[in-house]
Structure 1
């Protein structure tokens, strides 16, 4: 049966009840383990590198984690109830063809994440194996291809391994950091500034919200009777604890290192704790953490591309050969970008991370409001693959609110790509992600509730069509 195979045979199609498996602990370990990794450390470090002090950066990062983690976990709780990947459910809000709009942007986001992640993983592989950073990136990419093709079960096994090894590595690094440095001096240096504080909030909130478009992909095999609240807590607490631990380490590392952190963050982090054999073990931990999150990104990108193509084909099945081709293309593109931009990482990553929020917070707001406030789990699964079905080709309410949500943020965005006119008036503070969540959620709720779209009385499964 598909549910028993170590190599996943299903893709974007509905998971029947007889193939459901797993426990909530695997949700916690997956999201905890994938966040104990070097890119999260670098993201936390940016709060200090870009002008914040240690004390208020730590508080700002935690507030962003909790808020963004709640949004992300609300998406994750949909998985067991729907038995579907996250982005295919967007056809309910956008239409079978209209869902392509956010899907294309999601693909771009995860390719970008994997490109930046491959740079850091390449540094760790280079140090561990004694090869060039370019060779390290290529070796890392080959591993990602294999794991992504294997799919769901292997990814959860990887998450458990990353949790165990990550906890050991991070505990050691924190002990070394606290025993060899006077952290109290760093915490006593408190200079509150709204701009730096809200930057820290935005960094961690964007980190969490960016998981939203694929978080349900990794909970969709859980039995449908699994508690939504417990799923929410397992996903959210795991992600918040893992990312906050990484970002705290990043804040202290950046405060101690100064400019030395920007060039070789991997080598600096490992250098905090050890040399020789122990350093090799820490480099391996870095590689494993990056492997976990990069596999998630590649798998999520595959799901998005499969969803785009299936919408125009009118079916929800993808063959193994097609799966391999899609994964090779996705990983190949991100690897090419990593090789081209491996020497200018930190600045580009910060700009990318903050700017992408303008395109994903409105999608998140629309999806959550529709699922929890309008349809309330009552999806017509067969209609998701039928352009002439209940959800149609284009849902202009969802598309219109999405465009509105992107545009309404523009005056409030502050990034290297673009800075809106309201940023200066707000003292250099970027609040676009708050605007992009709140206003589209309200507008969509009132428009969708007043529309003539028919919501089924209960969830319609493929066997009931």
Structure 2
């Protein structure tokens, strides 16, 4: 193995949770001696990850297309269940390998070929933070009259600080924000259920259509599928002996519980309260029940979304460093992480300030694009991990372009390309700067978007067929050498 690649495996570091300082590791392998944390920490992390303003805005999508309340909630529940299932299975890869998700993806796409997936993943991180910035700027302006420009700047600074300090600080911040925000959201929801939060029968005519139902379903599914590229980044410090079943269940119920709750709340705010902004609607409903409750809930919901922006910035940093390392091996130093995070913050801040579109439209468009890009990857990655290689990899070779996985893994790249191409006729791309696209098959389906379902199935089947020619004996020998190298590092 090249010296630069070896350093990625052996860079010294103390246990990340020991002093809660700036995290030492980034794209390198986490040795068993540094593994810490508990499975139950995953549930509050991912519950809070969805327990914020962005999720409320998802509940506005169905009503904006004329879908009634009950059917919006049903589409949201089904979509969340499907999307979270894929997300939760990715979580089990963290303790098994001790690697960031995108480093592990080199096994399917190659040491350099993974850059194709990295582009889509980086778009996801930046897309989320751009949409988050738009939501926060418009929402806090509507609730408190705060300057959108100052809100955008302040949220970027807070997100950067959390991302710089890294893994353990993200876990800690998410748990405390959950402890503070959960009682307030329970009270707001109690007001809604008991009829004390205001509201009235919808004035606009609402009726079921498959196009609207699948739009809400796809947005809800996309929400947690888009967490897939970094869910194992937050489980990679767990001990290798962690139960995969317990971890999958913890992530699933954490991420799905809050998403279902707030999508339903968002749909109610849009239909029964006539709200056009989730944060404004949350404040109005809460204050109608208990004076001051809505404003407090709005502030904590905004802080939770800022924390999620920090999580996105952290994942974006891992993605960028992985991309650079794929062509020019680097040492993942603290300086590298800080510079990368600052660069990402500048990018999402500038793009976010240029967007003047309605927040709900921005959210829907961003999620649709992310879903199209990520579905072929998640299908290929999960089939490889659970069916083809069954969780067994030569970890040291993932840091070596001349290793068993090669620089360009044609099987994974081909499966991704076939899956993405299969999506195109089924796509329904919302308005994007005045441009939109509806595929020929989608037109025959009255605008119903099932592109991601097609991409998921085609990519999975294509990779299963192509993987039959893998050199399994060669990989077994490489795994033995890899374990020896890791033991001596």
| TM-score, normalisation: structure 1 | 0.94
Report matched runs for 1:295-306 at 5 Å.
Answer: 295-306=310-321
Deviation at 1:342, TM superposition (A): 4.3
Between 302-311 and 171-180, the greater mean CA deviation after superposition: 171-180
The residue aligned with 2:433 is none
Matched residues in 1 for 2:59 and 2:123: separation? 23
Matched residues in 1 for 2:137 and 2:200: separation? 34
The residue aligned with 1:210 is 226
Deviation at 1:464, TM superposition (A): 4.3
Secondary structure of 2:60's counterpart equals helix
The residue aligned with 1:431 is 450
User: 1:389-422 CA distances to partner (integer Å, 9 max, x unpaired)?
Assistant: 1111101111111111111000001122321000
Matched residues in 2 for 1:73 and 1:445: separation? 21
Matched residues in 2 for 1:257 and 1:182: separation? 7
Deviation at 1:198, TM superposition (A): 1.8
Change in CA separation of 1:184 and 1:230 when aligned onto 2, cut-off 3 Å: farther
Matched residues in 2 for 1:201 and 1:427: separation? 16
Matched residues in 2 for 1:196 and 1:157: separation? 38
Q: Which one of 43, 61, 83 corresponds to residue 58 of structure 2?
A: 43
The residue aligned with 1:271 is 284
Matched residues in 2 for 1:323 and 1:129: separation? 34
Change in CA separation of 1:129 and 1:329 when aligned onto 2, cut-off 3 Å: farther
Between 107-116 and 336-345, the greater mean CA deviation after superposition: 336-345
Deviation at 1:161, TM superposition (A): 1.5
Q: Which one of 378, 387, 390 corresponds to residue 364 of structure 1?
A: 378
Q: Which one of 212, 219, 222 corresponds to residue 238 of structure 2?
A: 222
Matched residues in 2 for 1:125 and 1:266: separation? 7
Secondary structure of 2:59's counterpart equals helix
The residue aligned with 1:16 is 31
Deviation at 1:245, TM superposition (A): 0.8
Change in CA separation of 1:130 and 1:348 when aligned onto 2, cut-off 3 Å: closer
User: 1:164-201 CA distances to partner (integer Å, 9 max, x unpaired)?
Assistant: 22322221221222323688967xx9844322222221
2:166, 2:314 within 8 Å by CA — same for their partners in 1? yes
The residue aligned with 1:194 is 210
Secondary structure of 1:415's counterpart equals strand
User: 1:134-182 CA distances to partner (integer Å, 9 max, x unpaired)?
Assistant: 1011011101111100000000011112222232222122122232368
2:138, 2:359 within 8 Å by CA — same for their partners in 1? no
Mapped pair 1:355 → 2:369: yes
Between 270-279 and 417-426, the greater mean CA deviation after superposition: 270-279
The residue aligned with 2:335 is 321
The residue aligned with 2:475 is 455
Matched residues in 2 for 1:169 and 1:122: separation? 22
Change in CA separation of 1:127 and 1:57 when aligned onto 2, cut-off 3 Å: closer
Deviation at 1:450, TM superposition (A): 2.6
Matched residues in 1 for 2:31 and 2:476: separation? 19
| TM-score, normalisation: structure 2 | 0.89
Change in CA separation of 1:127 and 1:358 when aligned onto 2, cut-off 3 Å: closer
Change in CA separation of 1:16 and 1:128 when aligned onto 2, cut-off 3 Å: farther
The residue aligned with 1:393 is 407
Q: Which one of 418, 435, 440 corresponds to residue 459 of structure 2?
A: 440
Deviation at 1:97, TM superposition (A): 0.3
Deviation at 1:285, TM superposition (A): 0.9
Between 30-39 and 446-455, the greater mean CA deviation after superposition: 446-455
1:124, 1:286 within 8 Å by CA — same for their partners in 2? no
Deviation at 1:456, TM superposition (A): 2.5
1:314, 1:386 within 8 Å by CA — same for their partners in 2? no
1:72, 1:215 within 8 Å by CA — same for their partners in 2? yes
The runs of 5 or more residues in structure 2 that have no matched partner are 1-13, 431-435
Report matched runs for 1:13-162 at 5 Å.
Answer: 13-123=28-138, 126=141, 131-162=146-177
Change in CA separation of 1:385 and 1:314 when aligned onto 2, cut-off 3 Å: farther
**Deviating 4+ runs (over 4 angstroms):** 123-130, 181-186
